[in-house]
Structure formats: C-alpha cells, structure tokens
Amino acid sequence: MRRIFIAGNWKMHLEGRQAAELARQVARQAEDCPGIDVAVAPVFTAIVPVVEALAGSPVMVAGQNCHWEEKGAFTGEVAAEMLAAAGCRLVIIGHSERRQYFGETDETVGRKLQAALRAGLLPIVCLGESLEQRDAGQTLDVVGRQLEAVLAVFPSEQASRLTIAYEPVWAIGTGRTATAGQAQEVHTFIRQRLADKFGPDPAGQVRIQYGGSVKPGNAAELLSQPDIDGALVGGASLQADSFGAIMRAAESQGA
C-alpha cells in the first residue's frame, strides 16, 4: 500500500523563529500519526531553523522551489544541491503560483525535476488546470500535457521517489475545493498515464496528493478516495491544530 503523505506548503509566511516554533508544534502533532509521512516547506530563509527544530522528528523539510543549475549567475535562485545541503529531503516543483506569477513552464519543470534527482531530493511535482480550462472541458488535456513533461525525464526505476500533487488552480486559496469525485477522476487519469509510461507496478508506487483548500472538514472525504494518497496543504498548514487535524484524518484512513 502507498503510505499517505501530508505536506504543508507555508508559502511566503513565517520568519525563522516563527517557522521553527510551528515546526516544533507540527512535530508534536505528528507523534500521534506514525502511519503517515509528513513534511513542511518553509521559506528559504527559515529552512535551517526548521531543520534544527525538527531534529529527531520524522517530519521532513521541503524547499518550495529550486533552479535547474547547480550554480551560476542566477540572482535570487537556489540550487537543488543547496537545499539538500541545508537539510531538505524534498522540493516542490511547478506549483501553480510559480507557473502563474513567475513564468514556470512545462520545460522548466522538467529541468528542475532532473536537478532535484541529481541532488538526491524527493520531488513533489504540481499539476493543475485553471477555472477557464475546467469550464472549457480541458482539464485532462492540460493535466496530461503537464504530466508529459514529468514522464519525459523521470526514470521508471525511481517511481517510488516521485510524488505528484494535483492542484486545480481554481481551488488554491479560494476556499473552493474540488469534490472528492472530481479529484478522484483526475487522479485516476494521472495513475493511468503513469501506468502507460512506467507499467502498472511502478505507477502503483507513485503517490498522488490533492491540493487546493484542503481543510480539517474535507480531508477525510478526499483521502478516502482510492487514488488520493495525501494532501499538499496551504493555509491550513500555518496553524498546528488545523494541520494536525488533517494529519489525524490521514492517519485514520491509513490505519
């Protein structure tokens, strides 16, 4: 069975001391959820304090982005190797906010994915459609195109290291959430495309998270779906109690 994976994306919130305190609170909440995997993604400047706060805890630390080069004249960027050296085990790649505001493309997602693998990081690769694309019936076309950039560079023998996060753009930070059925439909599509590329066994090892206004009130229903293997949580991960409630919902599903 795929182990449920709950990750908190803290986005551009919390400086070092605040982030470290929240990390300690999350670690205490995670003690009650030994059957799932948990990660948090602080801002770059808070990575080291958070890693130190989580020492001895199973909670992992992720970077929110990385560059595709190891070093160079790329002002404002951070290499995957630098994240690993700072103590990160994972990195988020291709988040919709990176695509929407900072020019992320399917090509750069593929290059960053390769960089993450070279650095030994576990990638969380985000896919998702806009409201206009969903209303136009283009959801599977868009997600399929974005997924192809992943499949083109990801080796099947490393499938267990890959996490896909399906995040419908229209549900991120809006309070709107895809129904469990809508989410499962897209997750089923992703799983089938993975099977077409990798074969059924490797595809069965890839975890597919759902992201988009995940809250304590909807987590259990979403996580009960057969192809939803976790959640990439935004706003609700900034409070230990709400994030802990989502973790406990996941623990109950994995039990």
Task: Report the distance separating Cα 23 and Cα 169, nearest Å.
Answer: 27
DSSP letter string over 56-81? Answer: TSS-EEEES--BSSSSSS-TT--BHH
Task: Report the distance separating Cα 159 and Cα 194, nearest Å.
Answer: 9
Query: What is the helix, strand, coil percentage profile of the chain, to 5?
Result: 50, 15, 35
Contact 53, 87 (CB under 8 A): no
Catalytic hit among 97, 104, 129, 167: 167
Task: Report the distance separating Cα 63 and Cα 112, nearest Å.
Answer: 12
95 is catalytic: yes
Helices (H) and strands (E) in the chain, counts: 11, 8
- Return left, alpha or beta for 79; rule: phi > 0 is left, psi -120 to 50 is alpha, else beta: beta
13 is catalytic: no
Catalytic hit among 67, 81, 95, 187: 95
**Active site residue ranges:** 95, 167
